[in-house]
Structure 1
Amino acid sequence: MNGSLRPSPSVVDIKLKRGPAGLGFNIVGGVDQQYVVNDNGIYVAKIKEDGAAALDGRLQEGDKILAINGVQLEDLMHKSAVDLFRMAGEDVDLRVLKKLLQNDNGSTDPQPDQPSPALSLGVLLALAGAAVLFSFVYTRHIRKHF
């Protein structure tokens, strides 16, 4: 290692060539239209099928675009960011912060899903209640026959 700083593994540089339909994705966010609470960044909202981004495959919905052609996108109005994308030319360099992978339950934890303690307690209480009810009905039924 030569002591140079490297981007975080979750930051990637992506080069796209503008196609007939543009870059092939929509953006959201900006100072005036925060997509993420307390974050003025620009995010990929939708990847258009068969567009330049979809064909490349690296850019995904939810990724945060940090820069376009070396211009930082933090703290821009949404329209200013859109204008940068429109004027970016045919060959576009993006610096992207990849979104965290999430499980279906929204967790970023790679561990398998574990039942919550509250759910386990609820099941136990339901079983205990059923046992008490069964005991009550059973003992009433036996008393009638004696």
Structure 2
Amino acid sequence: MNGSVAGGGVSEEVIRLTRGPSGLGFNIVGGTDQQVDSNDSSIYVSRIKKDGPAYLDGRLQEGDKILAINGRDLKNLRHMDAVELFKNAGYDVILKIQHRPQNGPAGHRGGGDSGGLPLAAILIPGLALTAAAVWILLRYRHRM
């Protein structure tokens, strides 16, 4: 299945990684309790750690969706349950991944401060906090 293409031009791939001293060399986001986008509880690669197994292999990209680990489907899992699967996956790990579309969010080894998260994942919470702060300030000033 290496390099196979699924419908809609989305590329899927099976990648085998060997765990290093500090793990597999990438971070994940997502899950039913930490959705990256509304109505999407998938698990995604948020950051590739420089010189880790995933970085040295070169096929896994920031923004890729992880469909399965060692044959175990990652659908409908809480974030911490997915993290536990990765921690207990053993020395040799087989990942089934779906590459992000090429015109998707920038990612792999970009060195950005966002850790591979989409810009909206940073801006929307920031705007919500700003709106809440303004609302609190206006209510406080109205009482004086």
- TM-score, structure 2 as length reference: 0.66
Tell me if structure 1 keeps the 8 A contact 2:20–2:53: yes
Deviating beyond 3 angstroms after TM superposition, the runs of 4 or more aligned structure 1 residues are none
* RMSD over aligned Cα atoms: 1.9
- Find the counterpart in structure 1 of residue 136 from structure 2: none
Matches within 5 A, 1:1-146: 8=6, 10-102=11-103
* CA distance in structure 2 between the aligned counterparts of 1:45 and 1:18, rounded to whole angstroms: 18
Unaligned runs of 5+ in 1: 1-5, 106-146
SS in 1 for 2:50: coil
Describe the superposition over 1:82-101 as per-residue Cα deviations: whole angstroms up to 9, x where unpaired. 00000000000000000001
The offset of 1:42, in angstroms, is 0.2
Describe the superposition over 1:98-145 as per-residue Cα deviations: whole angstroms up to 9, x where unpaired. 00011799xxxxxxxxxxxxxxxxxxxxxxxxxxxxxxxxxxxxxxxx
How many pairs were matched up? 100
Q: Structure 1's 54 and 74: CA in aligned 2 closer, same or farther, altered over 3 A?
A: same
The offset of 1:36, in angstroms, is 2.2
Higher gyration radius (CA): 1
Tell me if structure 1 keeps the 8 A contact 2:20–2:52: yes
* CA distance in structure 2 between the aligned counterparts of 1:36 and 1:59, rounded to whole angstroms: 21
SS in 2 for 1:15: strand
Unaligned runs of 5+ in 2: 107-144
Structure 1 counterpart of 2:29, which letter?
Answer: V
Percent identity reads 56
Structure 2 counterpart of 1:21, which letter?
Answer: S
